[in-house]
Amino acid sequence: MHAPGIWGILVVAVVVILLFGRGKISGMMGEVASGIKAFQKGMKDDEDRPVERVATTTETRETEKKDAL
Total structural domains within the chain: 1
- Each residue of 47-64: pLDDT tens digit? 666 666 665 666 666 666
Contact 17, 25 (CB under 8 A): yes
Could you tell me if residue 58 is inside a domain?
no
CA gap 3, 67 in Å, rounded: 70
Could you tell me if residue 64 is inside a domain?
no
Could you tell me if residue 55 is inside a domain?
no
Could you tell me if residue 59 is inside a domain?
no
- Each residue of 11-28: pLDDT tens digit? 998 888 888 887 787 888
CA gap 14, 18 in Å, rounded: 6
Q: pTM for the complete prediction? A: 0.42
Could you tell me if residue 31 is inside a domain?
yes
Which residue range(s) make up the domain with 10?
A: 1-50
Q: Could you tell me how many helices (H) and strands (E) the chain has, helices first?
A: 2, 0
